[in-house]
């Protein structure tokens, strides 16, 4: 048995590229493996920021929720891979959201939260009306299939701190400011020195001094 190698440090990538890479990795694993070497990716472990769970012959990969704050709208991110010989419908219910049905074709993969996925992949949006946990916390996702019943799993909640998830927040209309954001530029009137009042304005706008003193 070979010893699993340590995970390499990832450089920031877009969420779509990450989901696509996961889908390709899953396809390679499901296609077959060596009879003499242990393949690490056969084990059901999360290869990225999210978690994985298998329900019957549907495997959910890299599941996580992106939101700006607790109670704010969010999106479920991940991929659904159907290893069966028949098309199926997967029902996803995120805590704080309504159930969403996603059709997954036989031997196919559907990406959730991909903004510009390659044409060979189907995409789906699973919105959450009000995420039940803050970024950095965990929330639950229930996955149901006609053949496998229902299973629930805890998934991480992330915000736009990681650059690859920032575009997803923009889809939600959220524009979180990064730490250290400079203050907005002042208007021309605000840049004028206090000792130089605008034309027609008293030098003592607050009325603290007395006019007419000499």
Mind listing the pLDDT tens digit for each residue in 191-201? 444 444 444 44
Mean pLDDT in residue range 165-184 = 65
Q: pLDDT tens digit string along 88-116? A: 999 999 999 999 999 999 999 999 987 66
State the Cα–Cα distance between residues 123 and 127, nearest whole angstrom.
13
pLDDT of the residue at 173:
78
pLDDT of the residue at 29:
40
pLDDT band at 81 (very low <50, low <70, confident <90, very high): very high
Mean pLDDT in residue range 118-122 = 80
pLDDT of the residue at 49:
87
Q: pLDDT tens digit string along 2-49? A: 555 544 434 344 555 555 555 544 444 433 343 333 333 344 444 468
Higher pLDDT, 126 or 13: 126
pTM assigned to the model: 0.62
Higher pLDDT, 1 or 33: 1
Q: pLDDT tens digit string along 128-150? A: 999 999 999 999 999 999 999 99
pLDDT of the residue at 33:
40
> What's the alpha-carbon Rg for the chain, to the nearest Å?
26
């Amino acid at each position: 048995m070979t010893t699993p190698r340590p995970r390499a440090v990832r450089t920031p990538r877009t969420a779509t590229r990450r989901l696509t890479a996961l889908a390709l990795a899953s396809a390679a694993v499901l296609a077959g493996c060596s009879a003499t070497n242990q393949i690490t990716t056969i084990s059901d472990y999360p290869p990225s920021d999210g978690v994985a769970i298998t329900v019957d012959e549907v495997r959910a990969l890299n599941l996580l929720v992106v939101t700006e704050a607790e109670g704010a709208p969010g999106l479920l991110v991940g991929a659904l891979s159907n290893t069966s010989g028949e098309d199926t419908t997967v029902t996803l219910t995120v805590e704080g959201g309504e159930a969403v049905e996603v059709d997954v074709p036989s031997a196919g993969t559907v990406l959730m939260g991909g903004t510009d996925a390659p044409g060979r992949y189907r995409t789906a949006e699973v919105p959450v009306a009000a995420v039940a946990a803050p970024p950095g916390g965990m929330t639950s996702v229930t996955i149901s299939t006609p053949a496998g019943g229902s299973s629930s799993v805890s998934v991480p909640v992330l915000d736009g701190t990681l650059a690859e998830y920032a575009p997803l927040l923009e889809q939600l209309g959220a524009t979180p400011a990064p730490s250290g954001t400079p203050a907005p530029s002042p208007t021309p009137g605000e840049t004028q020195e206090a000792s130089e009042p605008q034309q027609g304005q008293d030098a003592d706008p607050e009325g603290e001094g007395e006019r007419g003193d000499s």
